[in-house]
Amino acid sequence: MIDSQMPKSLKSWKTSHWQPSRQEKRREYLKPYILDVWRTFKFYGYRRIVAYSQQTDVRKYLSI
């Protein structure tokens, strides 16, 4: 169901009770780390960023 077609009572309940998932929280915490790596090594792609992350301490960005 598209949000514009949703009844107002359900829409207001959904927005007031919504909580981000654990995975979404983790992604938000990792964004600054990935951006820092990318700014430092602009030629790094996905695979190199993952390999670099496994070699360094990423835990300081994960406060979950």
CB-based contact 38:49 (threshold 8 Å): yes
Q: What average pLDDT does this structure show over 8-19?
A: 69
Q: pLDDT tens across 46-64, in order?
A: 899 888 888 887 766 665 4
Q: What is the pLDDT of residue 35?
A: 92
Q: What is the pLDDT of residue 55?
A: 87
In the chain, % of residues over pLDDT 70: 66
Question: Residue 8: is its pLDDT beyond 60?
Answer: yes
- What does each C-alpha distance from 43 to 1, 32, 58, 61 come to in angstroms? 41, 17, 20, 22
